[in-house]
Chain A
Amino acid sequence: MSGKAILFLVMSFSVIFLIMGRNLGDVSTRSVQNSVRYYTKTVSHEIAVSAANLAAAKISFNPEWDSGFVETSYNGGTFETTVEQDGERKIVTTIGRYDSCTSRVQMIIAPSKFSKYAYFCEDEDKNGTIYWMSKDTCWGPFHTQDKLYVSGKPVFFGRVTTKLGVVKKSPSDNPQFLGGYDLGDCPMPTDGVSNLREDAVNNGGKLFNLQSNSTTRYETFYLTFKQDSVYYKYNWREKVSNTWYDRVTEATVKTSDLSSNGVIFVDATDRYGTPIDVRLKGTLKGDYSIGTTAGVWIDDDIVYNDKTQDMLGIVAKGDVTITNSTATKNINIHGSIYTEKGFTAEDYDDRSPSSCGAINLFGGLIQHERKPVGQFNSSTQQMVHGYSKRYIYDERFMTISPPYFPGTNKFEILSWYE
């Protein structure tokens, strides 16, 4: 009797432990399944992200690339990528697959224009190291192909990218990158100005092609905007029967009649073959890009008739310089300035701050080399010579640009879905 009871007892507990063992095994299995499910999902997502980055790299090297990737093995899974053209935009869709999981990443990219920058500079210290200091504030996207020199606590509201990093004057300096910071490479092209000239010739723009020769000598070129008209004038000399005569060509025309695509380009040389600068001022109505193979002198305010409607690009091979005159006190400049040299002020180091006032730039500044427009005492932070700066970014340049404004030859991500 007792033997049967013991047997019954042992069998009962055996059953109980078998059930427990099974439950424990089941728990382990479900735990592993749960872990594998998350792992599978994560890997498929990472494959899709990697494929998007691979596609972005392909487009970076070859902007025409649109063949995508057919099903390609990668990291134990597969991906495929399609590229659709939507006007200037490209829609890149990647599908990552791993085991039973599928993930999708979609990015929309578009060619990037230099006008999107509030500030761009290729060479920060060619004319001596110029620091961004505590009182400096930059709104909008910022890029330098050089080092970014900072002292104190300058504030950058837009996204900042540099090619060579950030140099702090002292370890306690603390630049405020409120729009984020990253390393980036975006060299200034050598054909930015010449491309604009082509657009003036080929796409309905206006090209002033004034090349001096043995019988004709061109001099200064003036361009003054008067709302929806533009006044242009250039002095020149003509040799007739061994005698030089002074000539003046001038006209006021409706700007849209002068240039249907919005590009006005001046390619003029003097008797020595030196490019002739353009002297610019006025009030602009419409969207225009002014280009020149020389420099641009800003003789007086160059402003929009309507800040929400009008748009100006100044594209110069040479310096863009603010003229030393009473008219340029507290100068107002509306537009995005692109210069393959620098932006500066005439005699900035010999003019009192009171005679200069401030540069009120509403737009952006893209320059090859950073040049001074004023000088200040670093200990008192007071201006000593030249202009103080009030640069305000025109946020419309984030999405639109003046006509045929130079491109960066790169694409930018407009949207990233994952």
Chain B
Amino acid sequence: MGFTTLIDVIGSMIIGGIVMLLLFRLNDAGTENVYNNTGELIAQENIAAVVSVIEYDFRKIGYSSDLDQIATVTKLSDIILLADSTHIRFKADIDEDFGWETVDYYTGPTSELLSTPNPRDKYLYRVIDNETPVRINLGVTHFRLRYFDGLGTELTDYPVEGAQRMMIDVAVENVYAYDPEHYDSTQSQVFWRQIRLSVQNLKR
């Protein structure tokens, strides 16, 4: 009895241990799954927030509640002051106060945002009238502007002149990954693209 009992106890411990390990692994996998899904949700909500701001501002390129001010515009470079692949400066009456504001959008370097584990995220800057830049830290990893002329030819000689339409790409990632060691392989990215944005206020 003594030996058989011992075998039973050892066997149960082994089986119980295996079951426990399985359950712990299962728990870990479940937790990771929940974490990653929540991270993706946050990234998705973040990109929606970023895009809302971008859409609000970019749709007003060249707009002014002061019609006389709009009338002074004769060429695109009067309102799109700088058009680079990651930096744009334009005029828009963002706050509808009968006057243009100069609006800048650009991204900072990744080295600027070391407080988050994600090595690729960076600040997206929104600057109104050269005031203190507003830093958007919502996990933006990619902000790219592409410009096209009226014939649909992409303008690549940055900073470009005469851009009539633009394409905007924004990608957002979760800033805190479950496994920061393996960011590239485990991290999913949320991507938004404005395929064609034309400047309505110069269509005269």
Distance (Å) between the CB of B6 and the closest chain A CB? 16
Please indicate the chain B residues that have their CB under 8 angstroms from the CB of A170 in the complex.
none
Stretch at the interface among B27-35, B100-108, B135-143: B27-35
- Contact indicator B63/A180 (Cβ below 8 Å): no
Q: Tell whether A164 is near chain B: CB-to-CB under 8 Å.
A: no
Q: Please tell me if the beta carbons of B33 and A24 are within 8 angstroms of each other in the complex.
A: yes
A180 touches B34 (CB 8 A): no
The answer to whether A20 touches B33, judged by C-beta atoms less than 8 angstroms apart, is yes
A74 within 8 A of B: no
Known: A20-B30, A416-B63. A180 touches B202 (CB 8 A): yes
Which residue of the partner chain, among B44, B70, B164, contacts A181 with CB atoms under 8 Å? Answer: B164
| A16 vs B12: C-alpha distance when bound (angstroms) | 24
Closest Cβ–Cβ distance, residue B108 to chain A (whole Å): 26
Q: Which of A24, A27, A178 contacts B162 (CB 8 A)?
A: A178
- Give bound CA distance, A27 to B164, whole Å: 40
Chain B, range 76-93, C-beta contacts under 8 Å to A: 76-77
Given A157-B74, A180-B164, A417-B63, residue A24 in contact with residue B34 (CB < 8 A): yes
Any chain A CB within 8 A of the CB of B45? yes
B-facing mask of A401-418, CB < 8 A → 1, else 0? 000000000001111111
Number of cross-chain contacts by CB at 8 Å: 121
Residue of B nearest to A160 (CB): B150
**Nearest residue, chain A, Cβ from B36:** A27
Determine whether the beta carbon of B63 is less than 8 Å from that of A415.
yes
Within 8 A of A (CB), among B126-166: 149-151, 161-162, 164
Known: A23-B38, A416-B203. 18 other contacts (CB 8 A): A24-B34, A27-B38, A28-B37, A31-B40, A34-B48, A140-B74, A157-B74, A158-B74, A159-B203, A166-B151, A182-B150, A395-B72, A395-B74, A398-B72, A413-B203, A415-B201, A416-B63, A418-B59
**Top-3 shortest CB links A-B:** A181-B150, A416-B200, A180-B164
Q: Could you list 24 examples of A-B contacts with CB < 8 Å?
A: A16-B30, A17-B30, A20-B31, A24-B33, A24-B37, A30-B41, A35-B44, A41-B52, A157-B75, A176-B161, A178-B76, A178-B77, A180-B76, A180-B150, A182-B203, A393-B74, A413-B201, A413-B203, A414-B71, A415-B63, A415-B65, A416-B203, A417-B63, A417-B65
Interface set of A (CB-CB < 8 Å, partner B): 2, 9, 13, 16-17, 20, 23-24, 27-28, 30-31, 34-35, 37-38, 41, 108, 112, 116, 139-141, 157-160, 166, 176-182, 393, 395, 398-399, 412-418
